[in-house]
Amino acid sequence: MSRGLYLGIFGGGGNSNNNNFTQSGTALYGDAKGGPLVVNAQGAANSNSTGIGGLHIGYEWAGWMMGQEGARWGLLPSAEFEGYYLGTTQSGQLLNPTPRVPEHTFSDNFPVNAGVLLTNALFSLRTPYLDTIFPYVGAGVGAAIVSISGANSAQTNPAEPGINHFNSNPNASNWGFATQAKAGVRAEIVDHLSLFVEYRFLYISPTNYTFGTTVYPTHIATTPWNVNFGGMYYNMGAAGIEYSF
């Protein structure tokens, strides 16, 4: 028997895998100091922890019986619309290769708040052994709205203490394609109410951001800074509760 319409809420966490990121702009030195200095710094983000929380609404159909008549094996398809918050940090060291200085490096930190919206397809397995336990797998596609607030870019070599190169506007946002795969187990605890635990793999496509110019009385003027995040990968676990109507 299928559940029909259901509503779920969940939370969890995990970590991000390393992805490439770049920072580009120009320091507007005059001719007496060699002219404009082009910055095209590149690096890899550290692996950082992440947290998620959200909800989904879905519908499960009766599906198909499998095996011989009376075997009680079944495959139950579901469709879901899901939205969740993801909070994490992108941080790491970037190197700008330039003949102007022996080494030109930055230490960047980007607090990330993302909203992930996905349409999922799931398949649950009904077995003849336990009528209340349902393993499942699923996949989804959609979009992620990625917001960065309070970004910081510190030049570490040559050192510039107290200078955030994004200080005139450390906030930016963009959106990217998102896709995920998940696998878990759902357990019915009473009529209409289930608990579930699952593993999720989430991918967000490359995104671009523009931050403000560097504005300090003691620092050379710059152009706005362009930052690119390569594709972001997240491995996460989640647990939640579902109610079927």
**Encoded amino acid at 225, one letter:** W
pLDDT at 64: 80
> What is the distance, to the nearest Å, from the Cα of residue 103 to the centroid of all Cα atoms in its chain?
32
pLDDT over 70, % of the chain:
98
Parent domain of 135: 4-60+77-244
pLDDT tens profile 76-99 = 999 999 999 999 999 999 999 998
- Note the pLDDT tens digit of each residue in 18-69: 889 999 999 999 999 999 999 999 999 999 999 999 999 999 998 787 766 6
What pTM does this model have?
A: 0.92
What does the DSSP 8-state code read for residue 212?
P
Which residues have C-beta within 8 Å of that of residue 65, sequence separation ≥ 6?
71, 72, 73, 74
> What is the average pLDDT score of the chain?
94
CA atoms within 13 A on the CB side of 210: 3
Domain total for the chain?
Answer: 1
Q: Is 88 inside any structural domain?
A: yes
- Round to whole Å and give the CA distance between 208 and 127: 47
Residue 68 domain flag:
no
In a domain, 72, yes or no: no
Tell me if 66 is assigned to some domain: no
pLDDT band at 205 (very low <50, low <70, confident <90, very high): very high
